[in-house]
């Protein structure tokens, strides 16, 4: 009887509520009262869901960060390689322009080895006797003189840099034509202009070019720039330091100058004027 009574009462309340909306306010009050309890009961599930989402997102970000770091390393290596290729391309283009600008023949060579002894300013290039390279030939880049071939092997050549302490180059000041000799100091970035009087007209910033009077170096090739001058009246000569114009410690490709016109041999200091004339006539006879 109770079950029937309450079942009928429930149906009656459902009908009245659906028909006349009498229990709308009651439902609202009950919802407000039980809403905190609903939120409290769903809180553990929501917290677990948020924790799972956070862990998943964190793992995904870590993996993405690792992938981006690896990609950055690959891109950085490719960028460095591209910069090296661009630098070599620029230098090769400059060397080609130098070859087209001068009248004497040149051949390009690649630096293969560098002397391990830090006190020797020498390197080895990829052209030797098979390419008709001879000792004494000039080696340069697109900026100026790098050195001179001092020893030739079948497939390699040894080049002594202008900065070697035993190397000397006849030069002249481009501004006024004063002739001098610049010597290597053993330092890769320094040359010395020796035996110049204190009163010599040389200024900081002057460019030194080959004079061409020795028959080895073509005239007019840049060699060095004056960077420091010390004049002390107590000494007869000024101390003049220069910086090489060429990249003696840079670049990978160089030019070997060949085919320069040979100068007549030096006269014997003990020979007479008649002997000199006879020798000159003999040289003219085919």
For 217-265, write each residue's pLDDT tens digit: 888 889 999 999 998 888 889 999 999 998 888 888 899 988 665 666 6
More confident position, 113 or 94:
113
CB neighbour list of residue 110: distance below 8 Å, 6 or more residues apart: 125, 126, 252, 253, 254
Reported as a pLDDT band with limits 50, 70 and 90, residue 133 is: very high
Which pLDDT belongs to residue 283? 47
pLDDT-above-70 percentage for the chain: 89
Instruction: Kindly state the tokens that stand for 168.
Output: 């000397």
Per mean pLDDT, which range of 38-42, 249-253, 278-282 is the poorest?
278-282
CB neighbour list of residue 196: distance below 8 Å, 6 or more residues apart: 180, 202, 237, 238, 240
More confident position, 78 or 268:
78
CA angle in degrees (0–180, nearest 5) for 22-27-29 = 115
pLDDT-above-90 percentage for the chain: 30
Instruction: Kindly state the tokens that stand for 21.
Output: 């909306």
Residue 275 clears pLDDT 60, i.e. is over it: no
Give the pLDDT mean for 8-13.
Answer: 84
Which pLDDT belongs to residue 156? 93
Per mean pLDDT, which range of 91-95, 249-253, 265-269 is the poorest?
265-269
CB neighbour list of residue 64: distance below 8 Å, 6 or more residues apart: none
Residue 112 clears pLDDT 70, i.e. is over it: yes
Which pLDDT belongs to residue 36? 82
- Name the residue with tokens 């009656």: 12
Reported as a pLDDT band with limits 50, 70 and 90, residue 284 is: very low
Residue 99 clears pLDDT 80, i.e. is over it: no
Residue 274 clears pLDDT 60, i.e. is over it: no
Average pLDDT, the chain: 83
More confident position, 102 or 279:
102
Which pLDDT belongs to residue 188? 84
Distance CA 176, CA 194 (A): 18
Which pLDDT belongs to residue 270? 62
Residue 54 clears pLDDT 80, i.e. is over it: yes
Which pLDDT belongs to residue 96? 80
Residue 11 clears pLDDT 50, i.e. is over it: yes
Reported as a pLDDT band with limits 50, 70 and 90, residue 286 is: very low
Residues pairing with 180 in the sheet: 171
Distance CA 117, CA 119 (A): 5
Distance CA 120, CA 111 (A): 16
Which pLDDT belongs to residue 268? 67
Give the pLDDT mean for 36-47.
Answer: 81
Give the pLDDT mean for 200-228.
Answer: 89
């Amino acid at each position: 009887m109770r079950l029937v009574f309450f079942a009928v009462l429930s149906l009656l309340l459902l009908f009245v509520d659906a028909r006349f909306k009498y229990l709308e306010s009651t439902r609202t009050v009950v919802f407000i009262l039980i809403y905190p309890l609903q939120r409290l009961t769903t809180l553990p599930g929501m917290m677990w869901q948020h924790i799972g989402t956070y862990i998943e997102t964190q793992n995904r970000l870590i993996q993405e960060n690792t992938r981006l770091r690896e990609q950055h390393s690959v891109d950085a290596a490719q960028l460095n390689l591209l910069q090296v290729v661009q630098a070599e391309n620029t230098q090769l283009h400059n060397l080609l322009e130098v070859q087209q600008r001068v009248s004497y023949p040149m051949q390009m060579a690649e630096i293969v080895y560098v002397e391990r002894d830090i006190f020797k300013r020498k390197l080895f290039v990829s052209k030797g006797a098979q390419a008709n390279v001879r000792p004494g030939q000039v080696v340069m880049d697109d900026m100026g003189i790098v050195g001179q071939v001092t020893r030739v092997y079948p497939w390699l050549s040894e080049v002594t840099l202008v900065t070697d302490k035993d190397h000397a180059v006849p030069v002249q000041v481009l501004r006024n034509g004063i002739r001098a000799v610049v010597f290597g100091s053993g330092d890769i970035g320094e040359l010395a202009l020796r035996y110049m009087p204190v009163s010599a007209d040389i200024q900081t910033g002057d460019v030194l070019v080959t004079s061409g009077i020795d028959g080895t170096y073509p005239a007019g090739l840049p060699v060095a720039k004056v960077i420091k001058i010390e004049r002390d009246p107590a000494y007869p000569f000024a101390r003049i330091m220069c910086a090489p114009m060429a990249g003696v410690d840079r670049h990978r490709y160089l030019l070997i100058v060949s085919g320069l016109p040979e100068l007549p041999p030096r006269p014997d200091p003990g020979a007479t004027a008649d002997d000199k004339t006879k020798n000159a006539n003999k040289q003219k006879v085919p």
